Amino acid sequence: MIYHAEGIVLRSQPFGEADRIITLLTRPEGKVRAVARGVRRTRSRLMGSTQLFTYGSYLLVRGRSDLETLSQGEIRESLRRLREDLDLMAYASYACELVDRMMVEREPDEFVFGLVLAVLRQMEAGSPPFGLVRYLELALLDRLGYRPELDGCLRCGKAWSPGNGWGIDGEAGGLICPECGTAPTVRRLSPGAVESLRRMRSLPAERAGVLRFSAETAREVRSALRDLLDARIEGPLKTRAFLESLEAAPWKEANHGRAGSD
Amino acid sequence: MVLPGPLARLVEELSRLPGIGPKTAQRLAFHIVEQPQERVTALANALVEAREQIRTCSVCCNLTDVDPCRLCSDPQRDDALLCVVEGPRDVMALERTREYRGRYHVLRGAISPLDGIGPGELRIRELLDRLQSGEVREVILATDPDPEGEATAMYLSRLLKPLGVKVTRMARGMPVGGSVEYMDEVTLAKAMEGRREIT
């Protein structure tokens, strides 16, 4: 089967002497992995369109194996700033690893495709990457059937009203009210952090770039989402370690008012 | 057919090599056992000797049989220029140009967040140590122009600039013998960006 697909390059790994295996999130076929033959040679026509984070149009061939063959590729949006700025590269890598880890191969999802594209585009355009990846985390959880309960207590059903003592239980997947929140797995959150999470959910993906947090809220939101994600994803995310090492890098004296990296 | 024990073991060992599948491993194994004894002994010795004698140069981190390596101990080379590359094969490629007469530093990899390779896995500490002496005036970042190489170059430039050393990046653009028509837009944009006045 030969098919055209719009896709985003989530990952690109060297394979054999001159080939690469690229992981594409495509609109019509979902996540697929494809061999790009000869792409590491200087004159390969596929080189440009297989760069990490590229949004392009691809011609793919599906054979009997679980790997497609990439036959042609054309760049729609190169999103090159994501590769040319160290911090953006780290955040975009994190976003792509998250999507790669959470999506099952060959299960198309128009919504997730639009979501990922919207997040990467806004990152490219200069919106704060911290808020964008937080938005992506929550949106993926919501979409893929792990929708965290943010409207009330998971245990007793008490509706959320801004107040102290509420927390989040990553394992159970949602808010816990002050009366029920005795388990050690419950992480206490300030009312502002809970409101931020709820506000994130109400935003459409195209507007996620407006998200900004105070340093303290940012830390809380990040930890809450990390608890929720870690309960759903097996094993550590490799890109998280890199974001952390950037944060600890010698030139980062101040945090520029952000909560910093993951 | 069940392979005789020693032959099966040879096939197994060969198929561990990169790019060698089971079929190729078998072909190589059958070839080896049909060779004269001294050929095979020479191959075996070469393998063992290479593994035993090749180590990391304590100065530039390239692979070498003498420490410091020949490039580091060559008095003809310019100590003020330091070219930073990803791997030993990049040194070989640059040496083939016969254009560059400075020293090298081999990182032995590139930053790749998606593969879990961070700055800590590279020979960056050693690079910083080398810059302590103040002899180096210019550091040339010659990592690959792919996302991993770019990330590495960006990381290093941020790390090195405060030290007061001049940091340059190898030019990116059109390959010699290429054509504008078939160049991808990113490379072309880079080539326009890095254009130079003809002298």
Same domain, A140 and A214: yes
Question: How many domains does the structure of chain B reveal?
Answer: 2
Same domain, A13 and A68: yes
Same domain, A38 and A89: no
Same domain, B22 and B95: no
Residue A100 Cα, gap to closest chain B Cα (Å): 10
Q: Which whole number is the average pLDDT over B59-75?
A: 93
Same domain, A6 and A63: yes
Same domain, B44 and B88: no
Tracing tokens 């008095």 back to the chain, one arrives at B75
Question: Which residue of chain B has the CA closest to A16?
Answer: B19
Partners of A33 in the β-ladder: A23
CATH, residue B160: 3.40.1360.10
Final residue in a domain of this structure, among A25, A55, A77:
A77
The answer to whether residue B152 sits within a structural domain is: yes
Same domain, B107 and B152: yes
Q: Which whole number is the average pLDDT over B173-193?
A: 84
Same domain, A9 and A108: no
Same domain, B82 and B127: yes
Same domain, B88 and B19: no
Q: Which of B74, B55, B75, B73 is nearest to B65 (CA)?
A: B55
Tracing tokens 């952090």 back to the chain, one arrives at A193
The answer to whether residue B59 sits within a structural domain is: no
What is the per-residue burial (b if ≥16 Cβ within 10 Å, else e) of A172-206?
Answer: bbbbbbeebbeeeebbebeeebbebbeebeebebe
Share of chain B above pLDDT 90, in %: 75
Same domain, A6 and A64: yes
The answer to whether residue B63 sits within a structural domain is: no
Same domain, B48 and B120: no
Inspect the interface and report whether the beta carbons of B113 and A93 lie closer than 8 Å.
yes
Final residue in a domain of this structure, among A42, A77, A112:
A77
Same domain, B46 and B104: no
pLDDT band (50, 70, 90) for residue B102: very high
Residue range B107-148, pLDDT digits in tens: 999 999 999 898 989 999 999 999 998 899 999 999 998 899
Question: Which residue of chain B has the CA closest to A101?
Answer: B114
Task: Please report the beta strands in chain A, taking only residues with DSSP state E, as ranges in sequence order.
Answer: 2-15, 19-26, 30-36, 55-62, 68-77, 167-169, 174-176, 186-188
pLDDT confidence of residue B19: 80
Sign, CA torsion A39/A42/A46/A48: positive
CATH, residue A17: 2.40.50.140
Same domain, B85 and B154: yes
The answer to whether residue A216 sits within a structural domain is: yes
pLDDT confidence of residue A259: 46
The answer to whether residue B45 sits within a structural domain is: yes
Inspect the interface and report whether the beta carbons of A90 and B187 lie closer than 8 Å.
no
For chains A and B, CB pairs below 8 A equal: 77
CATH, residue A119: 1.20.1440.120
Same domain, A9 and A117: no
Query: Which chain A residues are Cβ-neighbours of B120 within 8 angstroms?
Result: 245
Counting as low any pLDDT under 70, the low residues of chain A are 252-262
Question: Which residue of chain A has the CA closest to B113?
Answer: A239
Residues of chain A with a CB closer than 8 angstroms to some CB in chain B: 11-13, 16-17, 42-43, 45, 47-49, 51-53, 75, 78, 80, 83-86, 89-90, 93-94, 96-97, 238-239, 241-243, 245, 249-251
Final residue in a domain of this structure, among A41, A62, A77:
A77
Query: Which chain A residues are Cβ-neighbours of B158 within 8 angstroms?
Result: 86, 249, 251
Range of the domain at A47: 2-77
Inspect the interface and report whether the beta carbons of A51 and B186 lie closer than 8 Å.
yes
Residue range A28-44, pLDDT digits in tens: 999 999 999 998 887 77
The answer to whether residue A210 sits within a structural domain is: yes
Same domain, B47 and B99: no
Range of the domain at B155: 76-169
Same domain, B46 and B90: no
Inspect the interface and report whether the beta carbons of B154 and A89 lie closer than 8 Å.
yes
A175 in Cβ contact with A152 (< 8 Å): yes
Same domain, B49 and B92: no
Same domain, A244 and A126: yes
The answer to whether residue A59 sits within a structural domain is: yes
Query: Which chain B residues are Cβ-neighbours of A92 within 8 angstroms?
Result: none
Indicate whether B23 pLDDT > 60: yes
Query: How many angstroms separate the first and last alpha carbons of chain A?
Result: 41
The answer to whether residue B120 sits within a structural domain is: yes
Question: How many domains does the structure of chain A reveal?
Answer: 2
Cross-chain CB nearest to B159 (options A17, A245, A251): A251
The answer to whether residue A234 sits within a structural domain is: yes
Indicate whether B157 pLDDT > 50: yes
Cross-chain CB nearest to A241 (options B116, B175, B186): B116
pLDDT band (50, 70, 90) for residue B1: low
pLDDT confidence of residue B170: 93
The answer to whether residue B194 sits within a structural domain is: no
The answer to whether residue A140 sits within a structural domain is: yes
pLDDT band (50, 70, 90) for residue B174: confident
pLDDT confidence of residue A261: 47
The answer to whether residue B43 sits within a structural domain is: yes
Q: Which helix (H) or strand (E) holds B168?
A: strand B166-169
pLDDT band (50, 70, 90) for residue B93: very high
pLDDT band (50, 70, 90) for residue B29: very high
Q: How far apart are CA B159 and CA B119, in angstroms?
A: 11
The answer to whether residue A166 sits within a structural domain is: no
The answer to whether residue A168 sits within a structural domain is: no
Same domain, A141 and A222: yes
The answer to whether residue A245 sits within a structural domain is: yes
CATH, residue B26: 1.10.8.420
Same domain, B117 and B155: yes
Q: Which of B22, B35, B182 is nearest to A44 (CA)?
A: B182
